[in-house]
Amino acid sequence: MPTIEQAIATFGVTIDDHLDRQAEIPILSGLQFQGDVAVVPANREPARTPVPESGVPIVRGQAEANTHLLLATGKAFFAPERSGGGMVLGVLTVAEGATAYLAHPEHAFTGIAPGTYELRRQREQADQARLVAD
Amino acid sequence: MNPPGPARSTADEREAPRTPRAERGRDDTLDERRAWESAARACYQEIGVPFPERVVWVSSPLVGAFAAPIAACLSTGHRNNRVLDSVYRVVGETAGETVGHVVRAAVQAAADGAVSDPVHGAAATALHTEIASAMGSAMASAVRDTAHVTPAREESRQVSTGALAMVARASDAAVRAAVDAAVGGPRQDTIRGEVRRLWRAHLACQRSDTWLTLVGRFRQDTVQPLDEDRSWRTLAEQAAAQTAPAGWWWWPFLDFVMLCPRPAELHLEQVGEGVQATHRPHRADGPAVGWTDGFGLYFWHGTHVTQAVIDDTLTADEILRETNAEIRRCAIERRGWDRFIAEARLAQVGPAVPDPGNPGQTLTLHDVPADIYTTHVRVLLCTNGTVERDGTRRRFGLTVPAECTDPLEAAAWTYGLTSAQYATAQRRS
């Protein structure tokens, strides 16, 4: 398991400095949450669009801060969802031998093992259900 | 076409030293005032009325709303000082001493030495109706006469007219409330009557695309490079600031023109992303929109609210008694559900359960009485998976459908999962 320090060195992203640099990032294949984003194992058609080296901003926060950024070492693919009311952000496929990460300044890293997942956004019951901004 | 004249006698120039430099540079540029004045002259010309000698800049819509009608009364020969003093006093008492002082100064600048016309009252004739209907033809003439001028950037207007319209509506409501508070009481006289009637005799720029475009015709492209002024946080805010012309509201009279600058401060948040992104006023720690004299408008994610909501000074009871459900919701969100649940003693539904994937943390579900929220909801109280800078973990509430019967079901709903799926969570960060 890489540490936060190693992941920062690999991807060059900014993580809040009070978070422990030596903490290890678990690489998991089950259900995980990073704030208002969920990584949900899914039985879906694998995605085919490669995640670029610069990553994919899954949820963009205000003024670029608090963006959930999808990154990978090895082959990972992401297909944004075009329908579904905005709750399902897209399908993520992590190839064998690869690892995907969600990076966020306040939540550090979520390590994602090989498999296919739905990335989802949290919602709230307002007048109509609306998405959560954390 | 009359050449643009210099900006003249101003009440707010006396206020200028108190304005931070960065703001003054942005608001009071001579070019902008000239553009406004040229556009206003074009409108006067269109209705065949000479442009007045007295052009008075006031510090905010609130000041103009009092000063314009009072100056109009004095122009018609109103000389009852007892009444005048009582109106000034009540403005100071209800709108604040600062506003009271600048209202007096603005009235003086607009009405002092005016040739009064007590017989016909013509000097005080408000021209807003005529001018509003003449803007279109003024625009046509301006296009003909200034075809060589580059209009101000069109694209910046697209970004922000929605937000500016919200601000304009809120200005209207806030000024209306202040006018009611000052002169809406049982005591009535000529001046009070004119304030109640004539504060509305203004032209608000956002109501008329034509007016914006017309000012734009007279505006050399003075748009600053977007990242030059760092006191403005986002591009959208800068665009909005540049879109709002210097004459935010103006009162056109036969004898004088009174106008106020656009807000000195404007805080927006972005909703949505990319091409669908829109902007709305929002600020959690002060007025989202502010003029230099302290007149401010408060917004919570685009909803116009009172200062007490943003300053978070309401009691839980006061929040519950607020009659407007939308404002009640804003007040609760500003307070934070975790505090509101405790203060309003919202009943817990079912036991607290451990939050799967978030060791040591629990989830609780609370009932929200049907009539206090916009829709019937329950609220799920959660704890962040990551520690804050100060070592604590942020607690926050999420509203869920009232049909949720336990915390796990509620938490699962927020991600569109079943309770069984949610229970398998391995990690929350």
Give me the DSSP letters along B287-352: -SEE-TTS-EEEEETTEEE-HHHHHT---HHHHHH-S-HHHHHHHHHHH-HHHHHHHTTPPEEEEE
Q: What residues have CB less than 8 Å from A84, skipping those under 6 apart?
A: none
Which domain does B365 fall in, by range? 345-423
B21 at A interface, C-beta within 8 A: no
What is the predicted ipTM? 0.93
Question: Is residue B86 in a domain?
Answer: yes
Cβ-based contacts of A122 with chain B (< 8 Å): 398, 414-415
Q: Which residues of A touch B414 (CB under 8 A)?
A: 122-124, 132
Name every chain B residue with its beta carbon within 8 A of the beta carbon of A60.
Answer: 273
- Examine the pLDDT at B232 and tell me if it is beyond 70: no
Please name the member of B377, B386, B417 whose beta carbon is closest to the beta carbon of A125: B377
- B425 — contact with chain A (CB < 8 Å)? yes
Q: Strand locations in B209-301, DSSP E?
A: 249-252, 256-260, 265-266, 268-271, 278-281, 289-290, 296-300
How confident is the model at residue A84, as a pLDDT? 57
In this predicted structure, the answer to whether residue B244 has a pLDDT above a threshold of 90 is no
- Measured in degrees and rounded to the nearest 5, phi and psi for residue B157 equal -65, -35
Answer yes or no: are the C-beta atoms of B422 and B408 closer than 8 Å. yes
Closest CA to B244 of B282, B284, B291: B291
**Does the beta-carbon distance from A32 to B427 stay under 8 Å?**
yes
Which one of A31, A34, A101 makes the best mutation probe of the B interface by having the most chain B beta carbons within 10 Å? A31
Instruction: Give yes or no: residues B136 and B243 share one domain.
Output: yes
Please choose, from the candidates A134, A59, A124, A120, the residue with its C-alpha nearest in 3D space to the C-alpha of residue A84.
A120
One domain, residues B29 and B157: yes
Residue B405 lies in a domain: yes
B400/A31 Cβ within 8 A: no
Residue B321 lies inside a defined structural domain of this protein: no
Q: Would an 8 Å CB–CB cutoff place B419 in contact with chain A?
A: no
With CB atoms and an 8 Å threshold, state whether A31 touches B422: yes
Same-domain pairing of B260 and B353: no
pLDDT at B135 over 90: no
Residue that terminates a domain, selected from B267, B297, B326: B267
Residue A112, domain extent: 4-18+27-131
CB contact under 8 A, B426 and A123: no
Assess whether B259 and B386 both reside in one domain: no
Residues on A contacting B at a C-beta cutoff of 8 Å:
16, 18-19, 26, 28, 30-35, 38, 40, 60, 62-63, 87-88, 106-110, 120, 122-127, 132
The answer to whether A110 contacts B429, with C-beta atoms less than 8 Å apart, is yes
pLDDT tens across A43-102, in order?
A: 999 999 999 999 999 987 654 567 899 999 999 999 998 765 678 999 999 999 999 999
Q: Which pLDDT score is estimated for A113?
A: 98
Q: Is the minimum CB–CB distance between B389 and chain A shorter than 8 Å?
A: yes
Least confident of B7-11, B43-47, B66-70: B7-11
What pLDDT is recorded for position B187? 87
pLDDT at B159: 42
Could you give the angle at which helices B235-243 and B155-183 cross, rounded to 10 degrees? 70
**A14-26 pLDDT tens trace:** 899 999 999 999 9
- If asked whether residues B68 and B158 sit together in one domain, one would say yes
Instruction: Please indicate if any CB of chain A lies within 8 Å of the CB of B384.
Output: yes
Residue B263 has pLDDT above 70, yes or no: yes
Q: Give the pLDDT confidence score for residue B148 in this predicted structure.
A: 55
Would B28 be classed as within a structural domain?
A: yes
Higher pLDDT, residue B416 or B1? B416
Q: Is residue B234 part of a domain?
A: yes
For testing the chain B interface, which of A28, A33, A81, A122 should be mutated: the one with the most B CBs within 10 Å? A33
| A109–B426 CB contact, under 8 Å | no
DSSP string, B148-201: TSPPPPSHHHHHHHHHHHHHHHHHHHHHHHHHHHHH-SS---HHHHHHHHHTT-
Domain boundary among B240, B267, B294: B267
B385 to A33: CB separation less than 8 angstroms, yes or no: yes
User: Domain count of chain B?
Assistant: 2
Among B201, B235, B267, give the residue marking a domain's end. B267
| SS3 (DSSP) at B64 | helix
pLDDT value, residue A131: 61
The model's pLDDT over A35-52, given as tens digits with 9 standing for 90+, comes to: 999 999 999 999 999 999
Residue B316 placed within a domain = no
Residue B257 shares a structural domain with residue B356:
no
Decide if pLDDT at B42 tops 90.
no
Measured between CB atoms, does B418 come within 8 Å of chain A?
Answer: no
Residue A75 C-alpha, separation from nearest chain B C-alpha, in angstroms: 23
Number of domains in chain A: 1
CB contact under 8 A, B400 and A107: no
- Mean pLDDT over B354-375 rounds to 89
pLDDT tens, residue by residue, B393-421: 888 899 999 999 999 999 999 999 999 99
* Closest CB from B399, B425, B426 relative to A125: B399
Mean pLDDT of the region B222-230? 44
Chain B residues lying within 8 Å of A35, measured CB to CB: 384-386, 429
Q: Is residue B288 part of a domain?
A: no
Average pLDDT across chain B, whole number: 80
Answer with the residue of higher pLDDT: B383 or B141.
Answer: B383
- Is there a domain that residue B163 lies in? yes
| pLDDT tens-digit readout, B293-321 | 889 999 999 999 999 999 999 999 899 88
Least confident of B66-75, B77-86, B215-224, B388-397: B215-224
A127 vs B426: CB contact, 8 Å cut-off? no
B213: pLDDT strictly greater than 80:
no
